[in-house]
Structure 1
Amino acid sequence: MTEQRESTESVASLPEPDGGVPVTGKRGPLLEARDLHVEFASRGRRARAVDGVNLAVGEGEIVALVGESGCGKTTLARTLLGLERPTSGSVLYGGEPLAYSSHALKAYRREVQLVLQDPTGSLNPRHTVYEAVAEGPRIHGMSDEHDRVVSALARTGLRPPERFLNSYPHELSGGQRQRVVIAGALALDPRLLVADEPVASLDASVRGEILALLLRLRDELGLSALVVTHDLGLAWNIADRVAVMYLGRIVESGPVEQVLKAPTHPYTQALLSVLPDSPSPVVLSGEPPDPTRVPGGCRFHPRCQVLASGEAARAGVDGLCGSQPLMVLPAAPSSAGSHVACHYAGVRPG
């Protein structure tokens, strides 16, 4: 029996708080991963970079995908963009499976745009702002190129846009460069942005401005976004829902306030404990395991502070933690509340 079909009683489903943001409309999620697996050859073995993931992003919704470096979140994002082919499972856009022909991917990437974390690396230093933003409309043969460039720059707060058209990246601040990158995506009128660590390379003074911009674009244009980050503080400030990823799996997901105010999975608790206002940081032992050697049972158990402290043993689930696989979590629309893949969470009181 496959891992994702086992031990369904060990996955806790928590009630939803009032005011949750709906994930699915009448037509279902805008972008969805269904039982997604992505494997790579590594030293004669198979690295399970994405190892059974269900994830949905609804119309006008911002979902944060969080986890440590190496957990698989960037590979998942690249697969959702069609830059990687899944080993198994599927990516659906508007309810239809993603096609991988050149023509289909070109049309898809007009509507689902990538925003990278390093604006300096994303922009060609020899191209002006106009050329950078116009690249997408040119690729797609749009006749109203100039109007699209000017409109996109204005939407990102680079006003008046004419002031920036002939500037080069080195003449701009880091925040302005990131706005140019976002404008390049907006020039195609996308429905969804995939933002990979969109403020990681920026000074603290401008991070809030870029996050506020993404929220404003959601409110004004109805844009959806998947924000990939290691920063739960960022997720708190921008996301409607959060999905916490560890070693290729989503281990906890749900409405952001529910997950981050009352985290249930020990891994989520550890990630939150390093925030400045946390009373007691949790120090995890060791590094994330090699994805070619995924531990048996709960994949987090070799580093789990609940298991190490004896709490899991007192709850009578320590044997399960090291031996009984956990199921793949559902995509977790907000109507279903939060989900967590944890033996201890399913039995602990309260």
Structure 2
Amino acid sequence: MTAAPTLLSAERLKVTFPGRHGGPPARAVDGVELGIRAGEIVALVGESGCGKTTLARALLGLERPTAGQVAFGGSPLDYTSRALKAYRRRVQLVLQDPSGSLNPRHTVYDAVAEGLRIHRYTGDERTAVAEALSKAGLRPPERFFLRYPHELSGGQRQRVVIAGALVLEPELIVADEPVASLDASVRGEILALLLRLRTELGLSALVVTHDLGLAWNIADRVAVMYLGRIVETGAVEQVLTAPRHPYTQALLSVLPEAPGEPVILTGEPPDPSRVSPGCRFHPRCPILASGEAERAGVADACRTQDPEILTADTDPQVACHWARARVAG
């Protein structure tokens, strides 16, 4: 089978912010290569503060890169107002908190129709809103038109947010922690909805999450991010059943169904304005601390040599001297 074309890509992407009190700049995104193919769901996972949301904002054109570029359909993103407006019709954002992203004074109809009005839709607005609500699983849609957010359940509110994205018929959605604020009983329904939208509409998605269990249930591929950079990527089954990077192993070890004892990471939480020389994970790496990296002959490399930036290829990749030494050995 021929691989689907890449729809959205980041190429050597960097986003930095001014440092506090004149200190060194914060390297929120520090050389990321990532591709999302047509009809593919990619999960971007990592701890809070690792740069996931900044990367997502850069991919949406909400944050202008310091270096590198974002490309859609093979063309670099144009940051003029008109071009960005057209781009955001094709790539839509779904936020994690439906209560915060819905105006309490707007009815469901107005919330979903807002995007149509911004983009000066010339078709039948009522039909488009009804179809979007129906696709999001709110049926019959007319029953929800005049309701307000406080009259809906959390799952229904999240479906309204998704309908607001679908009404413009985008090719890709970026979902930032799409089920984080929902009860466990509702999460499965929203994940099933996203999978159904991929099947029925050919929709692509980037799902930003700290939850590896969610990634397992929804994604085709996973990209693990640490301190501004992707450190492991590949097919979700491969990465989550046989993780090679010590950071991925630590994230997986704390899941309830994980075998063995949880890996507790030591050291300070990562600071994007003070990225260590060598592997950026080495100050907290249990492999280095245990002496395993020393026995593999890579401890010095871990402390002094920055692993190469992973490419946007779909092949499994890892940015870890120890993991690569194990394969070579």
Instruction: Answer yes or no: same fold by TM over 0.5.
Output: yes
- Confirm or deny that 1:242 pairs with 2:219: no
Which of these residues, 39, 44, 51, is aligned with residue 60 of structure 1?
39
- Confirm or deny that 1:128 pairs with 2:85: no
Structure 1 vs Structure 2: percent identity of aligned residues? 73
- Across the aligned residues of Structure 1 and Structure 2, the Cα RMSD in angstroms comes to 1.1
Which of these residues, 172, 179, 197, is aligned with residue 199 of structure 1?
179
Task: Tell me the residue number matched to 1:278.
Answer: 258
Task: Tell me the residue number matched to 1:255.
Answer: 235
Q: Distance between the aligned counterparts of 1:146 and 1:98, measured in 2?
A: 32
Q: Distance between the aligned counterparts of 1:123 and 1:160, measured in 2?
A: 20
Q: Distance between the aligned counterparts of 1:262 and 1:50, measured in 2?
A: 26
Q: Distance between the aligned counterparts of 2:147 and 2:254, measured in 1?
A: 40
Q: Distance between the aligned counterparts of 2:46 and 2:268, measured in 1?
A: 13
Task: Tell me the residue number matched to 2:279.
Answer: 298
| CA deviation after TM superposition for structure 1 residue 290, in Å | 1.2
- Confirm or deny that 1:29 pairs with 2:17: no
Amino acid at match of 2:187: R
Task: Tell me the residue number matched to 2:290.
Answer: 309
Task: Tell me the residue number matched to 1:219.
Answer: 199
| Structure with greater contact order relative to length (CA < 8 Å, sep ≥ 6) | 1
Task: Tell me the residue number matched to 2:312.
Answer: 331
Amino acid at match of 2:320: C
Q: What TM-score, normalized to structure 2?
A: 0.97
Q: Distance between the aligned counterparts of 1:122 and 1:186, measured in 2?
A: 15
CA contact under 8 A between 1:247 and 1:288: conserved in structure 2? no
| CA deviation after TM superposition for structure 1 residue 341, in Å | 0.2
Gaps (5+ residues) in structure 2? none
Task: Tell me the residue number matched to 1:9.
Answer: none
Task: Tell me the residue number matched to 2:90.
Answer: 111
What CA deviation, in whole Å up to 9, does each residue of 1:210-264 have, x standing for no partner?
A: 0000000000000000000000000000000000000000000010001001000
Task: Tell me the residue number matched to 1:170.
Answer: 150
Task: Tell me the residue number matched to 1:38.
Answer: 15
CA contact under 8 A between 1:289 and 1:295: conserved in structure 2? no
Gaps (5+ residues) in structure 1? 1-20
Q: Distance between the aligned counterparts of 1:145 and 1:253, measured in 2?
A: 41
Q: Distance between the aligned counterparts of 1:181 and 1:211, measured in 2?
A: 14
CA contact under 8 A between 1:60 and 1:224: conserved in structure 2? yes
What CA deviation, in whole Å up to 9, does each residue of 1:183-216 have, x standing for no partner?
A: 0000000000000000000000000000000000
| Displacement over 4 Å in runs of 4+ | none
| CA deviation after TM superposition for structure 1 residue 324, in Å | 0.9
Q: What TM-score, normalized to structure 1?
A: 0.91
Size of the aligned set, in residue pairs, is 324
Find the residue that maps to 2:321 and give its secondary structure: coil
Q: Distance between the aligned counterparts of 1:249 and 1:218, measured in 2?
A: 27
CA contact under 8 A between 2:111 and 2:164: conserved in structure 1? yes
